[in-house]
Amino acid sequence: MIPEGYELTSKVHEGSSAQVWRAKNPSGETVVLKLAASDSHSERRFKREIEGTRDAAGHHVIPLLDFDDTASWYSMPAAAKTLYQEKDTLPASFDESLRVLEAITAALRPLHLAGQVHRDLKPQNILWLVDEKGARWVVADFGIVRNPAGLTRTRLTADGGLTGSDGWAAPEQYQDGHKTTAASDVYAAGAIVSWMLTGVHPTFGYVEYPPASQLSAILKRATAPKPTNRYPNLDVLLEAVKVSAAASTTSLSSLLETGNWPQVSAYVSQANRRNQVVNALPKLDQSRVDAWFEADRPGLVMGVSDALDNLREDHSGLDMKSQVDPLLSWVVRVLRVLVNNGEHEDATHVATALFHATAWMDQYTPATAILDWLDNLNGQAQRAMEVALHNSTDTWAFFKSMASGRWPSKSRSELLQRLQE
């Protein structure tokens, strides 16, 4: 039904739940008019969309100009373009991608504080709006906002299917959109910034990052498959991106001195920082590792794992005894804090990278330190480490060979017994 006083001028889009038109409102102004399909599901979604847009209302949210009480239509300003229409001009500059991230963060902050999730962030829903308040990016389409647990009276999305848009949606949105959190919007924001900086459209399970840099490590964390490994909210992601712009000349030692652990995490992930990593990290005692864990557990896990993978792929020019061995042996301290705090899945992730690197480079001294540590584990920690030993080709065989030459200890673990068989 066309609302009274509106004149349709051109159709913008038609989907299963709505039609979108350019139109003249009763005052003769050009607006965008969105009409719900004539079914109860579409009207419920429209009501959710209107409520979500009103809840998030702010400078970087598309304004609602008019709507009816039956939630069958609403109007909004006519935007100049969508972010997706910029695809032919990509890669964008860092400054432009930062402006988009700032707009997304400001737009969704009220929703996230209220326990709501947008769930459909994508370039098509980010609009360039020019009005009396100035020119800016705004976020639109709040039709599948997830309300806080316990406050959703009707389910607008089905279980077991994608909630959101392919490529931009976080992995958990392909399984159950009702279990999404603010981390799902963090994923989409990271994917959008990565797309702007590379021009490569993301797909399920794959995001292209800009060339090796601290920003690349930050975006990799933002789009981590596991929600708890991402930044906890958009404000933290935004701050990390801003700091990365000024971090190109920052040394790892200075970050360690100030205890800036999230930035340390991003720094050590970079392949081009390898030399600083191998020289600085082994100097961290157990108390500093504990502090890193407390401040930024996901970053510690991802950063150290990436550093080990980078070292395994390129250790040319390094002295194996004075540089490589100390770093590999030091990682046992990271495993110790993870296991002691019951983070066995994270411990498996780091151990897989450590065991693979040690075996690949055939390093005796760190292998001995690793076996000494394994010999004192029990229960779930042993099982986690056994999984890690089997996670890469030839790693089990390498440590089996190393274990066979050890003197049996008085408290030999079951894992060491299996290695020595």
What's the pLDDT score for residue 155? Answer: 46
What's the pLDDT score for residue 243? Answer: 82
DSSP 17: S
What's the pLDDT score for residue 167? Answer: 92
pLDDT-derived band of residue 146, with 50, 70 and 90 as boundaries?
confident
Q: What angle do CA 237, 243, 249 make, to 5 degrees?
A: 145
Mean pLDDT of the chain: 89
**Cα-based torsion angle of the residue sequence 363, 369, 370, 373 in order, rounded to the nearest 10 degrees:** 170
As to burial, measured by CB atoms within 10 angstroms (0-12 exposed, 13-18 middle, 19+ buried), residue 329 is: buried
pLDDT-derived band of residue 411, with 50, 70 and 90 as boundaries?
low
Q: Could you say which architecture CATH assigns to the domain 79-248?
A: Orthogonal Bundle (1.10)
Stretch (H or E) spanning 49: helix 40-55
What's the pLDDT score for residue 153? Answer: 41
Instruction: Report, as an integer, the average pLDDT of 231-238.
Output: 94
pLDDT over 60 (residue 149): no
- Rounded to whole angstroms, the Cα distance separating 351 from 32 reads 54
- Rounded to whole angstroms, the Cα distance separating 366 from 370 reads 6
**Phi, psi (deg, nearest 5) at residue 35:** -115, 125
pLDDT-derived band of residue 40, with 50, 70 and 90 as boundaries?
low
- Rounded to whole angstroms, the Cα distance separating 358 from 16 reads 55
pLDDT over 50 (residue 319): yes
Instruction: Report, as an integer, the average pLDDT of 361-375.
Output: 95
pLDDT over 50 (residue 156): no
Give the strands of the sheet with 18-24, arranged side by side: 7-14, 18-24, 30-36, 73-77, 66-67
Choice between 13 and 388, residue whose per-residue pLDDT is larger: 388
Contacts of 58 (CB under 8 A, 6+ apart): 106, 107, 109, 110
Distance of CA 187 to the CA centre of its chain: 4
Instruction: Report, as an integer, the average pLDDT of 41-58.
Output: 78
**Phi, psi (deg, nearest 5) at residue 67:** -160, 165
What's the pLDDT score for residue 294? Answer: 97
pLDDT-derived band of residue 42, with 50, 70 and 90 as boundaries?
low
What's the pLDDT score for residue 151? Answer: 45
Query: What pLDDT, in 10s, does the model give residues 337-359?
Result: 999 999 999 999 999 999 999 99
pLDDT-derived band of residue 332, with 50, 70 and 90 as boundaries?
very high
Count Cβ neighbours within 10 Å for each residue of 256-277 and write b for 16 or more, e otherwise: beeebbbbbbbbbbbbebbebb
What's the pLDDT score for residue 139? Answer: 95
Give the range among 35-44, 155-164, 206-215 with minimum mean pLDDT: 155-164
Q: 269 near 244, Cβ under 8 Å?
A: no
Count Cβ neighbours within 10 Å for each residue of 289-325 and write b for 16 or more, e otherwise: bbebbeebbbbbbbbbbbbbebbbeebeebeeeebbb
List the structure tokens of 51: 């409520």
- The structure tokens 């005894």 sit at 321
pLDDT over 60 (residue 249): yes
Q: What angle do CA 19, 23, 29 make, to 5 degrees?
A: 145
Question: Which residue ranges make up each domain of the chain?
Answer: 7-78, 79-248, 250-421
Residue 319, CB-side half-sphere exposure with 13 Å CA sphere: 5
Q: What is the CA radius of gyration of the chain?
A: 26
What's the pLDDT score for residue 248? Answer: 62
Q: 147 near 154, Cβ under 8 Å?
A: no
Give the range among 107-111, 239-243, 280-284, 411-415 with minimum mean pLDDT: 411-415
- Rounded to whole angstroms, the Cα distance separating 94 from 197 reads 7
What's the pLDDT score for residue 2? Answer: 86
Stretch (H or E) spanning 286: helix 286-313
pLDDT over 80 (residue 202): yes
- Identify the CATH assignment for 7-78 out of 1.10.10.10, 3.30.200.20, 3.40.630.30, 3.40.1180.10: 3.30.200.20
pLDDT over 70 (residue 320): yes
Question: Has this prediction a pTM greater than 0.85?
Answer: no
Nearest to 32 by CA among 78, 66, 79: 78
Contacts of 163 (CB under 8 A, 6+ apart): 119, 144, 157, 169, 173, 176, 177, 178, 180
What's the pLDDT score for residue 247? Answer: 62
Query: What pLDDT, in 10s, does the model give residues 258-272?
Result: 888 988 999 999 888
Contacts of 269 (CB under 8 A, 6+ apart): 216, 217, 220, 221, 302, 303, 306, 307, 310
